[in-house]
Structure 1
Amino acid sequence: MLGRLEFKKIRDFGQVINDTFTFMRQNFKPLITTYFMFCGLFVLASMLTMLLQQYKMVNIINTIGNGRNTNGIGFGAMYGVTYFLSILFSLASYASMSVAILSYIAIYIQKGNQTPTMDEVWGYFKYYFFRIFGSSILLIILLVVAFMFCLVPGFWLFPFIAMMFPIMVIENATLGYAFDRSFKIIKDNYWVTFGTLIVVWIIVYACMSMVVLPTTLFNMIGMFSGKNPHMNVTLTMITTVLQSLCQVFTIIPIITITLAYFSLVEQKESTGLMERISNFGSSEKPIDTRPEEY
């Protein structure tokens, strides 16, 4: 039987993806517990504001479809307070998830690949949350601006920005240091990192789509089957709730980018190898005996 997963080792493209799901399988219950305990409030707030926004949007669309609104849709009707609150809470939800999962992994490694307690994760979480949350706002703005320039700069920056959060938590780094560090460790390995993240995000979005697809299809059929465009409020609300619950799937790419981080650091600095050499001859059995490629 395969032992507990070792993070500090070199992995190729396939190993990073396979070990992502291996770690999920080995730590499924504590990871899900960590997610709901530290992210549940933000996910709930995000879901409620999104429900309010969707309810308002459905009413506007149905009003226009029934011919009761001949003036079009104004900016204030489309983008009110609930719209910006939904964005804010969505960012807080993703930041809390990143901090919680990265804190879990950092403590897991420090304890010799043992499951951390919730108190230990909380100690990390309260220290890093506002740092990650503030940084995520700036990085999202940077990414949006980059995507506005013909998409290419946004896709190019994506791996570097994704790598910054593991650096900030695992190395206790500032935003500026993490920005420079991500470019240094991804250098010469850009396409492998980019490809790994793209494949994992495709898997995640496929899982999310399978969950919300039935209600989305029924809503679209109902909308275009009548004489006037009409969206079903109940189906729209159910779809929104399912989309919020599906955020749990984004645990997967967080684990993936963390494994990629350790793999790249190991290639350049061999920190894990040096630790194993220094512990050579100890009575402890190796955690993961699968062969490494140096």
Structure 2
Amino acid sequence: MLLKIEFKKIRDFGQIINDTFTFIRQNFKPLVKNYFIFCGLFVLGGMLSMLMQQYKTVNMINNINIASGRNPFGFGSLYGFEYFLAILFSIAGYASTTVFALSYIAIYVQKGNQTPTTDEVWGYFKHYFFRVFGSSLLLMLLLGVAFLFCLIPGFWLFPFIAITFPIMVIENGSLSYSFSRSFKIVKDNFWLTFGTLFIIWIIVYACMSLVVLPTTLFSMIGLFSHGGKPQMSLFFTMLSTVLQYLCQVCTIIPIVTITLSYFSLVEQKESAGLMERISNFGTTEKPTDTRPEEY
């Protein structure tokens, strides 16, 4: 039987990646259950919005007359209400996944590596969701602007922004406090943090792409197999969209990696976990849960 994951310890690159998947494996059922409880509404809203967007796109492409250049819809009509609604639901979905996963881990650590209940996660979730959602909008805008400047500033900011959210939830920090603290704990371990997060995101996106790839290929084959007139398959396009949104459950993985990196960085700087173990040495009692019952 695998030992429960201890978050408050220093880890290298390989240990962070291995412990990420160990923690996911040990907590798979409660994580997936809580994901659909807290994030399911946003996933469903984003999926329906994108399905409407894809329906409009398929109809537009299938009604283009290449010979006459006629397009009865116009490309400007693609970016309607459902397009921006899908973007909003996507941001809210990522924020809710971040809050739920960080809340789960924060309670898991406080309870001495015990599985939290849904009610306990809800207590954290309702307290931090709007803070993380608003912060996500601002930080994504900042990251987008940074990527416009030859990409390098965006890659440089990426690990600092990623570590901001664990600080915000686990330390109950404001955006300004969390963002500035992320620079303090990451700056001496920038490349390790960047490399760890970069690799885990590549793994996650590769897994998600493999699930969606067959339906995407069938859709593309249909697009170019009708002579001079392109015809997209509505069925395969819709199926790709549904699978894409269902695969968003995999975004739990990089959030666990980010949190393990956060605890490792804090431990290197402050040795909080070591001091806690020393203070509890020789006792059998679990650490006291100081989390407030209601927010």
Distance in 2 between residues matched to 1:108 and 1:243, nearest whole Å: 29
Distance in 2 between residues matched to 1:168 and 1:68, nearest whole Å: 56
CA offset at residue 283 of structure 1? 3.1
Q: Say which SS state the counterpart of residue 189 (structure 1) adopts.
A: helix
**Larger mean Cα displacement after TM superposition, 203-212 or 72-81:** 72-81
Distance 1:231 1:67, change over 3 A: farther
Find the counterpart in structure 2 of residue 130 from structure 1.
130
The count of corresponding residues between Structure 1 and Structure 2 is 285
Spell out, residue by residue over 1:58-117, the C-alpha distance to the aligned partner (whole angstroms, 9 max, x if none).
111222256575369756312111110000000010100100010000000111110001
> Is residue 63–residue 72 contact of structure 2 (8 Å, CA) maintained in 1?
no
For structure 1, the 5+ residue unaligned runs are 286-294
The one-letter amino acid paired with 2:140 is I
> Is residue 164–residue 182 contact of structure 2 (8 Å, CA) maintained in 1?
yes
**Larger mean Cα displacement after TM superposition, 225-234 or 213-222:** 225-234
Distance 1:122 1:67, change over 3 A: farther
**Larger mean Cα displacement after TM superposition, 250-259 or 202-211:** 202-211
Spell out, residue by residue over 1:147-185, the C-alpha distance to the aligned partner (whole angstroms, 9 max, x if none).
111111111111111111111000000000111011111
> Is residue 63–residue 71 contact of structure 2 (8 Å, CA) maintained in 1?
no
Find the counterpart in structure 1 of residue 289 from structure 2.
none
Find the counterpart in structure 1 of residue 62 from structure 2.
62
> Is residue 65–residue 71 contact of structure 2 (8 Å, CA) maintained in 1?
no
TM-score, length basis structure 1 = 0.94
1:172 lines up with 2:172 in the alignment:
yes
The one-letter amino acid paired with 1:233 is L
Distance in 2 between residues matched to 1:72 and 1:195, nearest whole Å: 48
Distance 1:39 1:8, change over 3 A: same
CA offset at residue 281 of structure 1? 1.1
Distance in 2 between residues matched to 1:76 and 1:215, nearest whole Å: 27
> Is residue 65–residue 229 contact of structure 1 (8 Å, CA) maintained in 2?
no
Distance in 1 between residues matched to 2:62 and 2:164, nearest whole Å: 43
Distance in 2 between residues matched to 1:269 and 1:74, nearest whole Å: 58
Q: Say which SS state the counterpart of residue 188 (structure 1) adopts.
A: helix
The one-letter amino acid paired with 1:140 is M
The one-letter amino acid paired with 2:106 is A
**Larger mean Cα displacement after TM superposition, 55-64 or 173-182:** 55-64
1:215 lines up with 2:215 in the alignment:
yes
Find the counterpart in structure 1 of residue 257 from structure 2.
256
The one-letter amino acid paired with 2:237 is T
Distance in 2 between residues matched to 1:131 and 1:201, nearest whole Å: 24
**RMSD over aligned Cα atoms:** 1.5
TM-score, length basis structure 2 = 0.93
CA offset at residue 53 of structure 1? 0.7
> Is residue 65–residue 230 contact of structure 1 (8 Å, CA) maintained in 2?
no
Find the counterpart in structure 1 of residue 104 from structure 2.
104
Distance in 1 between residues matched to 2:115 and 2:65, nearest whole Å: 54
Find the counterpart in structure 2 of residue 290 from structure 1.
none
Distance in 1 between residues matched to 2:248 and 2:237, nearest whole Å: 17
CA offset at residue 145 of structure 1? 1.1
State how 1:149-164 maps to structure 2 within 5 Å.
149-164=149-164
Find the counterpart in structure 1 of residue 231 from structure 2.
230
The one-letter amino acid paired with 2:241 is T
Distance in 1 between residues matched to 2:181 and 2:223, nearest whole Å: 49
Distance 1:65 1:100, change over 3 A: farther
For structure 2, the 5+ residue unaligned runs are 287-295
Distance in 2 between residues matched to 1:230 and 1:111, nearest whole Å: 56
Distance in 2 between residues matched to 1:162 and 1:65, nearest whole Å: 46
Find the counterpart in structure 2 of residue 197 from structure 1.
197
Find the counterpart in structure 2 of residue 22 from structure 1.
22
Find the counterpart in structure 2 of residue 291 from structure 1.
none
Identity value in percent: 73
Distance 1:145 1:229, change over 3 A: same
The one-letter amino acid paired with 2:190 is Y
Distance in 1 between residues matched to 2:61 and 2:125, nearest whole Å: 41
Moved over 2 A (4+): 65-76
Spell out, residue by residue over 1:213-265, the C-alpha distance to the aligned partner (whole angstroms, 9 max, x if none).
10000111111122122111111000000000000000000000000000000
The one-letter amino acid paired with 2:243 is L
